[in-house]
Protein backbone atom coordinates (compact mmCIF):
# COMPACT_ATOMS: atom_id res chain seq x y z
CA UNK A 1 0.00 0.00 0.00
CA UNK A 2 1.13 3.56 -0.69
CA UNK A 3 -0.34 7.06 -0.65
CA UNK A 4 -1.96 6.65 -4.07
CA UNK A 5 -4.14 3.90 -2.62
CA UNK A 6 -5.77 6.47 -0.35
CA UNK A 7 -5.66 9.66 -2.44
CA UNK A 8 -7.53 10.80 -5.54
CA UNK A 9 -6.63 14.22 -6.96
CA UNK A 10 -8.67 15.68 -9.80
CA UNK A 11 -6.82 16.20 -13.06
CA UNK A 12 -7.43 19.95 -12.88
CA UNK A 13 -5.94 20.27 -9.39
CA UNK A 14 -3.03 17.95 -10.15
CA UNK A 15 -2.13 19.90 -13.30
CA UNK A 16 -2.30 23.19 -11.41
CA UNK A 17 -0.05 21.96 -8.59
CA UNK A 18 2.46 20.40 -11.00
CA UNK A 19 2.65 23.63 -13.00
CA UNK A 20 2.90 25.93 -9.97
CA UNK A 21 -0.51 27.47 -10.58
CA UNK A 22 -2.47 28.96 -7.63
CA UNK A 23 -4.77 26.48 -5.88
CA UNK A 24 -7.07 27.05 -2.89
CA UNK A 25 -8.20 24.13 -0.74
CA UNK A 26 -11.73 24.07 0.70
CA UNK A 27 -13.22 21.96 3.47
CA UNK A 28 -16.38 19.86 3.20
CA UNK A 29 -17.70 19.90 6.78
CA UNK A 30 -19.12 23.34 6.02
CA UNK A 31 -21.21 21.61 3.32
CA UNK A 32 -22.46 18.66 5.35
CA UNK A 33 -22.64 20.23 8.82
CA UNK A 34 -22.33 24.00 8.40
CA UNK A 35 -25.69 24.94 6.93
CA UNK A 36 -28.94 23.39 5.62
CA UNK A 37 -29.62 22.08 2.11
CA UNK A 38 -29.76 23.60 -0.49
CA UNK A 39 -27.93 26.67 0.88
CA UNK A 40 -24.90 24.51 1.67
CA UNK A 41 -24.52 23.34 -1.92
CA UNK A 42 -25.29 26.76 -3.41
CA UNK A 43 -22.65 28.28 -1.13
CA UNK A 44 -20.08 25.63 -2.05
CA UNK A 45 -20.65 26.24 -5.78
CA UNK A 46 -20.39 30.01 -5.29
CA UNK A 47 -17.14 29.72 -3.31
CA UNK A 48 -15.58 27.66 -6.10
CA UNK A 49 -16.84 30.22 -8.65
CA UNK A 50 -15.29 33.10 -6.66
CA UNK A 51 -11.93 31.33 -6.58
CA UNK A 52 -12.00 30.64 -10.33
CA UNK A 53 -12.97 34.22 -11.14
CA UNK A 54 -10.10 35.41 -8.94
CA UNK A 55 -7.64 33.42 -11.05
CA UNK A 56 -7.05 30.33 -8.89
CA UNK A 57 -8.20 26.70 -8.93
CA UNK A 58 -10.59 25.49 -6.19
CA UNK A 59 -9.94 22.13 -4.52
CA UNK A 60 -12.79 21.02 -2.27
CA UNK A 61 -11.70 18.04 -0.16
CA UNK A 62 -13.76 15.14 1.23
CA UNK A 63 -13.52 11.39 1.92
CA UNK A 64 -15.37 9.33 -0.68
CA UNK A 65 -15.11 5.65 -1.65
CA UNK A 66 -12.15 5.04 0.66
CA UNK A 67 -10.03 7.90 -0.68
CA UNK A 68 -9.16 11.47 0.23
CA UNK A 69 -10.66 13.25 -2.76
CA UNK A 70 -9.00 16.56 -3.62
CA UNK A 71 -11.12 18.47 -6.12
CA UNK A 72 -14.77 17.40 -6.10
CA UNK A 73 -17.30 17.33 -8.94
CA UNK A 74 -20.59 19.21 -8.63
CA UNK A 75 -22.34 15.86 -8.21
CA UNK A 76 -20.09 14.96 -5.27
CA UNK A 77 -20.69 18.33 -3.61
CA UNK A 78 -24.44 17.88 -4.11
CA UNK A 79 -24.25 14.41 -2.54
CA UNK A 80 -22.54 15.77 0.58
CA UNK A 81 -25.07 18.58 0.84
CA UNK A 82 -28.08 16.28 0.56
CA UNK A 83 -26.69 13.69 2.98
CA UNK A 84 -25.88 16.44 5.48
CA UNK A 85 -25.46 15.37 9.08
CA UNK A 86 -25.45 11.66 8.15
CA UNK A 87 -21.96 12.19 6.67
CA UNK A 88 -19.33 11.67 9.36
CA UNK A 89 -17.13 14.60 10.34
CA UNK A 90 -13.56 13.37 9.96
CA UNK A 91 -10.69 14.75 12.01
CA UNK A 92 -7.12 13.44 12.19
CA UNK A 93 -7.92 10.53 14.54
CA UNK A 94 -10.82 9.37 12.32
CA UNK A 95 -9.04 9.52 8.99
CA UNK A 96 -7.60 5.98 8.68
CA UNK A 97 -10.79 4.47 10.12
CA UNK A 98 -13.14 6.20 7.67
CA UNK A 99 -10.82 5.42 4.73
CA UNK A 100 -10.90 1.71 5.54
CA UNK A 101 -14.68 1.72 6.11
CA UNK A 102 -15.39 3.19 2.67
CA UNK A 103 -18.05 5.46 4.18
CA UNK A 104 -18.29 9.09 3.11
CA UNK A 105 -16.70 11.69 5.35
CA UNK A 106 -16.51 15.46 5.43
CA UNK A 107 -13.20 17.06 6.29
CA UNK A 108 -12.72 19.43 9.21
CA UNK A 109 -10.07 22.14 9.19
CA UNK A 110 -7.53 19.58 10.46
CA UNK A 111 -8.20 16.93 7.82
CA UNK A 112 -8.52 19.49 5.03
CA UNK A 113 -5.04 20.70 5.98
CA UNK A 114 -3.77 17.12 5.83
CA UNK A 115 -5.34 16.49 2.42
CA UNK A 116 -4.13 19.82 1.06
CA UNK A 117 -0.58 19.21 2.28
CA UNK A 118 -0.48 15.72 0.78
CA UNK A 119 -1.66 17.17 -2.55
CA UNK A 120 0.93 19.97 -2.50
CA UNK A 121 -1.56 22.80 -1.82
CA UNK A 122 -0.36 25.61 0.46
CA UNK A 123 -3.44 27.82 0.88
CA UNK A 124 -6.81 26.89 2.39
CA UNK A 125 -9.95 29.04 2.82
CA UNK A 126 -12.51 28.28 5.51
CA UNK A 127 -15.01 30.06 7.75
CA UNK A 128 -13.47 29.89 11.21
CA UNK A 129 -11.00 27.54 12.85
CA UNK A 130 -11.78 25.39 15.88
CA UNK A 131 -9.99 26.12 19.11
CA UNK A 132 -10.17 25.99 22.89
CA UNK A 133 -13.79 25.80 24.01
CA UNK A 134 -15.20 27.83 26.85
CA UNK A 135 -14.79 26.00 30.17
CA UNK A 136 -12.00 23.88 28.61
CA UNK A 137 -10.15 23.94 31.95
CA UNK A 138 -12.86 21.54 33.12
CA UNK A 139 -13.88 19.74 29.92
CA UNK A 140 -10.50 19.64 28.10
CA UNK A 141 -12.49 20.32 24.91
CA UNK A 142 -9.79 21.58 22.52
CA UNK A 143 -10.12 21.26 18.76
CA UNK A 144 -7.65 19.08 16.88
CA UNK A 145 -7.38 21.99 14.43
CA UNK A 146 -4.88 23.68 16.75
CA UNK A 147 -2.46 20.76 16.89
CA UNK A 148 -2.72 20.40 13.10
CA UNK A 149 -1.84 24.05 12.68
CA UNK A 150 1.25 23.38 14.76
CA UNK A 151 2.63 20.75 12.37
CA UNK A 152 1.11 20.94 8.88
CA UNK A 153 2.45 23.47 6.38
CA UNK A 154 -0.77 25.08 5.14
CA UNK A 155 -1.91 28.70 5.37
CA UNK A 156 -5.47 28.93 6.70
CA UNK A 157 -7.50 31.99 5.73
CA UNK A 158 -10.37 32.40 8.16
CA UNK A 159 -12.54 34.97 9.95
CA UNK A 160 -10.63 34.18 13.14
CA UNK A 161 -11.65 31.39 15.48
CA UNK A 162 -15.32 30.49 15.85
CA UNK A 163 -16.92 32.99 18.23
CA UNK A 164 -18.30 30.19 20.42
CA UNK A 165 -14.74 29.52 21.64
CA UNK A 166 -12.52 31.00 24.32
CA UNK A 167 -10.56 33.31 22.04
CA UNK A 168 -7.89 34.24 24.57
CA UNK A 169 -7.04 30.62 25.38
CA UNK A 170 -7.10 29.76 21.67
CA UNK A 171 -4.50 32.45 20.98
CA UNK A 172 -2.36 31.22 23.90
CA UNK A 173 -2.49 27.66 22.56
CA UNK A 174 -1.50 28.81 19.07
CA UNK A 175 1.43 30.75 20.49
CA UNK A 176 2.63 27.61 22.30
CA UNK A 177 2.41 25.70 18.99
CA UNK A 178 4.42 28.40 17.18
CA UNK A 179 1.60 29.33 14.80
CA UNK A 180 1.72 32.94 13.51
CA UNK A 181 -1.66 34.71 13.64
CA UNK A 182 -1.71 37.45 11.01
CA UNK A 183 -4.48 40.04 11.04
CA UNK A 184 -5.41 41.15 7.53
CA UNK A 185 -5.55 44.95 7.77
CA UNK A 186 -6.34 44.66 11.49
CA UNK A 187 -4.49 44.49 14.81
CA UNK A 188 -7.44 42.77 16.55
CA UNK A 189 -8.48 39.15 16.19
CA UNK A 190 -11.75 38.91 14.24
CA UNK A 191 -14.41 36.94 16.13
CA UNK A 192 -16.11 35.16 13.23
CA UNK A 193 -19.47 37.00 13.23
CA UNK A 194 -17.78 40.21 14.44
CA UNK A 195 -15.06 42.20 12.69
CA UNK A 196 -13.12 42.66 15.88
CA UNK A 197 -12.63 41.38 19.41
CA UNK A 198 -10.64 42.66 22.36
CA UNK A 199 -7.72 40.34 21.60
CA UNK A 200 -4.58 41.25 19.64
CA UNK A 201 -3.20 39.31 16.67
CA UNK A 202 0.55 38.73 16.38
CA UNK A 203 1.06 40.94 13.34
CA UNK A 204 -1.00 43.18 11.09
CA UNK A 205 -0.49 42.55 7.37
CA UNK A 206 -1.74 44.79 4.59
CA UNK A 207 -1.47 42.76 1.39
CA UNK A 208 -1.55 39.27 -0.07
CA UNK A 209 2.02 39.78 -1.27
CA UNK A 210 3.20 40.44 2.30
CA UNK A 211 1.54 37.21 3.42
CA UNK A 212 3.20 35.31 0.57
CA UNK A 213 6.59 36.71 1.61
CA UNK A 214 6.01 35.52 5.18
CA UNK A 215 5.08 32.07 3.86
CA UNK A 216 8.27 31.98 1.79
CA UNK A 217 10.44 32.91 4.78
CA UNK A 218 8.76 30.44 7.16
CA UNK A 219 9.03 27.46 4.85
CA UNK A 220 12.54 28.34 3.64
CA UNK A 221 13.59 28.03 7.29
CA UNK A 222 11.80 24.66 7.52
CA UNK A 223 9.64 26.00 10.35
CA UNK A 224 6.90 23.37 10.34
CA UNK A 225 3.27 24.28 10.83
CA UNK A 226 0.60 26.51 9.44
CA UNK A 227 -0.10 30.22 9.40
CA UNK A 228 -3.45 31.78 10.29
CA UNK A 229 -4.60 34.73 8.23
CA UNK A 230 -7.44 36.30 10.21
CA UNK A 231 -9.66 38.16 7.75
CA UNK A 232 -12.50 40.25 9.25
CA UNK A 233 -16.05 39.65 8.03
CA UNK A 234 -17.31 42.44 5.71
CA UNK A 235 -18.60 45.31 7.80
CA UNK A 236 -22.18 45.19 6.51
CA UNK A 237 -22.54 41.60 7.78
CA UNK A 238 -20.75 42.07 11.10
CA UNK A 239 -22.44 41.73 14.51
CA UNK A 240 -21.53 43.84 17.51
CA UNK A 241 -19.02 41.78 19.51
CA UNK A 242 -20.65 42.25 22.93
CA UNK A 243 -24.15 41.63 21.56
CA UNK A 244 -23.06 38.40 19.88
CA UNK A 245 -21.20 37.29 23.01
CA UNK A 246 -24.44 37.48 25.01
CA UNK A 247 -26.19 35.33 22.41
CA UNK A 248 -23.35 32.81 22.50
CA UNK A 249 -23.47 32.60 26.30
CA UNK A 250 -27.19 31.77 26.08
CA UNK A 251 -26.45 29.06 23.51
CA UNK A 252 -23.58 27.61 25.59
CA UNK A 253 -25.78 27.51 28.70
CA UNK A 254 -28.45 25.61 26.77
CA UNK A 255 -25.86 23.15 25.42
CA UNK A 256 -24.67 22.47 28.99
CA UNK A 257 -28.23 22.00 30.22
CA UNK A 258 -28.83 19.44 27.45
CA UNK A 259 -25.54 17.60 28.01
CA UNK A 260 -24.21 18.43 24.54
CA UNK A 261 -20.50 17.55 24.37
CA UNK A 262 -17.58 16.85 22.03
CA UNK A 263 -18.09 17.00 18.28
CA UNK A 264 -21.82 17.68 18.72
CA UNK A 265 -21.11 20.97 20.47
CA UNK A 266 -20.27 23.19 17.50
CA UNK A 267 -23.23 22.16 15.26
CA UNK A 268 -25.62 22.60 18.22
CA UNK A 269 -24.28 26.05 19.09
CA UNK A 270 -24.27 27.30 15.48
CA UNK A 271 -27.88 26.15 15.03
CA UNK A 272 -28.95 27.77 18.30
CA UNK A 273 -27.20 31.03 17.36
CA UNK A 274 -28.98 30.97 13.98
CA UNK A 275 -32.31 30.66 15.82
CA UNK A 276 -31.51 33.43 18.30
CA UNK A 277 -30.42 35.81 15.50
CA UNK A 278 -33.47 34.92 13.35
CA UNK A 279 -31.25 33.53 10.61
CA UNK A 280 -28.97 36.54 10.30
CA UNK A 281 -25.95 34.60 11.57
CA UNK A 282 -26.27 32.16 8.66
CA UNK A 283 -26.16 35.03 6.16
CA UNK A 284 -23.06 36.36 7.92
CA UNK A 285 -21.48 32.90 7.86
CA UNK A 286 -21.94 32.64 4.10
CA UNK A 287 -20.57 36.10 3.41
CA UNK A 288 -17.45 35.64 5.51
CA UNK A 289 -16.66 32.42 3.62
CA UNK A 290 -16.94 34.29 0.31
CA UNK A 291 -14.67 37.01 1.69
CA UNK A 292 -12.07 34.47 2.79
CA UNK A 293 -12.15 32.70 -0.58
CA UNK A 294 -11.27 35.98 -2.34
CA UNK A 295 -8.32 36.70 -0.05
CA UNK A 296 -7.08 33.09 -0.17
CA UNK A 297 -7.08 33.27 -3.97
CA UNK A 298 -5.00 36.45 -3.90
CA UNK A 299 -2.51 34.84 -1.50
CA UNK A 300 -2.24 31.68 -3.62
CA UNK A 301 -1.61 33.80 -6.73
CA UNK A 302 1.12 35.83 -4.99
CA UNK A 303 2.76 32.72 -3.51
CA UNK A 304 2.85 31.05 -6.94
CA UNK A 305 5.03 33.97 -8.10
CA UNK A 306 7.67 33.37 -5.40
The answer to whether 266 and 162 are in contact (CB under 8 A) is: yes
β pairing state of 7-9 and 123-125: unpaired
**Is 27 one of the catalytic residues?**
yes
Would you state the torsion angle of the CA atoms of residues 14, 20, 23, 25, taken in this order, to the nearest 10 degrees? 70
Q: Which of 89, 122, 162, 272 is catalytic?
A: 162
98-101 contacts, C-beta under 8 A, 24 or more apart = 98/63, 99/6, 99/63, 99/66, 99/67, 99/68, 100/66, 101/66
DSSP designation for 305 = T
Q: Which residue in 65, 84, 61 sits closest to 73, CA to CA?
A: 61
The answer to whether 285 and 273 are in contact (CB under 8 A) is: no
Whole-angstrom Cα distance, residue 54 to residue 295?
9
Q: Which of 27, 76, 148, 302 is catalytic?
A: 27
**Is 162 one of the catalytic residues?**
yes
SS3 percent helix, strand, coil of the chain, rounded to 5, is 50, 20, 30
CA 302, 305, 306 angle in degrees (round to 5)? 100
> Which residues are marked as active site?
27, 162
Amino acid sequence: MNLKDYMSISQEVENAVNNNKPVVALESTIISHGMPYPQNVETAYEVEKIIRESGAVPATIAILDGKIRVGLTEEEIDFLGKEGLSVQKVSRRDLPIILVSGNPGSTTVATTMIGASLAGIKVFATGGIGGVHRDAENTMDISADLDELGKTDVVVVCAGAKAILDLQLTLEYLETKGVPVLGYKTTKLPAFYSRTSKYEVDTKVDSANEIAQIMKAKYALNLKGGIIVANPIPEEYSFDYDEMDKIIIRAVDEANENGIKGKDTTPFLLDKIKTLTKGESLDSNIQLVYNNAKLASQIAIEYAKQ
